[in-house]
Amino acid sequence: MRYKAKRIWELDFLKGLGLILMIYFHIIYDLDVIFHYGVDSSSLINDFTAKASGSLFIFTAGVSSYLTRNNLKRAARILGIALLITILTYLYDPQMVISFGILHLLGTSIILSLVVRPLPSWSMFLLGAA
């Protein structure tokens, strides 16, 4: 029988909250920038929503990468989706191409973590300070 890992509901909650905030922000952003609907995507609440959703994605991805066994597979999947988004945004409007977004950052960071995790803590301190 295969072992089923217990879900951490708090992590799932934060991921869901980040997803809802990201969907909200992108709807407002698209209405403003792409469709010129007269909505202010740069208002204080929308700016906060964008930063909060990005921060939640980065935080939960970091925690998840620490808890998961196959980070290389995870990074490849995330970078594949990021590449697809880059291609689709380029095809839609080359002026608005997403060349390095949150998903690109997450995939790259997960791969880099595979390199630096085995290093001794003092060398990670030096790397971070540099």
Q: pLDDT tier at 122 (50, 70, 90 boundaries)?
A: confident
Asked whether residue 93 is domain-assigned, the answer is yes
Which domain covers residue 101, as residue numbers? Answer: 70-114
Please check whether residues 63 and 13 belong to one and the same domain. yes
Give the pTM: 0.83
21 lies in the same domain as 52 = yes
**What does the chain come to in residues?**
130
Each residue's pLDDT tens digit, 40-70 = 999 999 999 999 999 999 999 989 888 888 9
Question: Do residue 14 and residue 63 come from a single domain?
Answer: yes
Per the domain annotation, does 126 fall within a domain?
no
Residue 13, in any domain of the structure: yes
Work out how many domains the chain is built from and give that number: 2
Question: Do 62 and 74 belong together in one domain?
Answer: no
